[in-house]
Amino acid sequence: MVFLKALTLRDVPRVLSIAGTDPTGGAGIQADLKSIAALGGYGMAVVTSLVAQNTRGVRSVHTPPASFLTEQLDAVSDDVAIDAVKIGMLGDVATIAVVREWLHRARPPLLVLDPVMVATSGDRLLAADAETALRELVGMADLVTPNLPELAVLVDGPIAVDWPAALEQGRRLSMSCGTVVLVKGGHLSAEFSPDALVDATGQLDGADGGAVEFVSPRVATRNTHGTGCSLSSAVATAMARTGDWAGAVRQAKDWLQDALTSADELEVGQGNGPINHFHLLWTAAGSITR
């Protein structure tokens, strides 16, 4: 991580999402804002791409001019003190270049990168010629949160077919980029869904062999749209409140587990529906009874 600004913990951190949109509200900046709020942060959003998508797939993508992206980013950072940044869909080389240049100027104290390449529906969300530029951006992040197909692209290897192979790819990425990697095992077929914070550089306290593992029972639901967006935003928010990567991931995963468990109650869409971001709030308010 190249930034020098110290992280100041806040009860209500100001978290900026830089990502694409989802009109159905389950992924992209819409999911990010919900996740940030659910974890106790104040969410802000800069749009990289306007995506015409729903729970069944992506129909088209419109990318605004790079100059307008710069104006959005500057409008936020010229006025608001930013405690954490979460980056999601970037789309193309020009967008990555603008975000990279802004990061050097704004120097946020905390950066979580979700290297969005393919939607849950299988639709590609990153131009093929932008993969190299995205790999370079990984080295600027404090934490990168790839799923297994994205991890394979970042290390230029095959998709891991088991957990040991996934962990090894995570270590390779951490070593080559000098950043902490959250390896996510959701694409594996098993009764439990493992995740792990992997650090090959010695930055992570309490890591056993450079890794801290988290295991949750797999939730039987097809409503997983925007899971990666939501988890990365939740981790960024929790980290800006606690300053502890392992604790932040554990808090975010516990929240996500319940959000997946109650996802079917929403009945949104005919495909892969969204998770239930506000399950705790609605349960407390009596909107949902268990």
CA 159 and chain centroid, separation: 19
Q: Given 25, 26, 28, 228, which residue is catalytic?
A: 228
Question: Of 24, 229, 253, 273, which is the active-site residue?
Answer: 229
Residue 153 to residues 86, 128, 203: CA-CA distances in angstroms? 20, 10, 24
Residues 252/39, Cβ–Cβ less than 8 Å: yes
Name residue 263's amino acid: A
The neighbouring-strand residues paired with 72 are: none
Nearest to 166 by CA among 34, 158, 42, 20: 158
Task: Determine whether 184 is an active site residue.
Answer: yes
Which of the residues 34, 86, 184, 253 is marked catalytic? Answer: 184
How many residues in total does the chain contain? 290
Whole-angstrom CA distances from 187 to 78, 156, 190, 252 are 40, 18, 9, 18
Give strand pairing partners of 51.
61
70 is catalytic: no
Say if CB 281 and CB 38 are below 8 A apart: yes
Q: Which of 48, 224, 237, 253 is catalytic?
A: 224
Known catalytic membership, residue 177: no
Q: From the candidates 48, 227, 237, 253, give the one annotated as an active-site residue.
A: 227
Which listed residue (41, 210, 226, 273) is catalytic? Answer: 226
Residues tagged active-site: 184, 224, 226-229
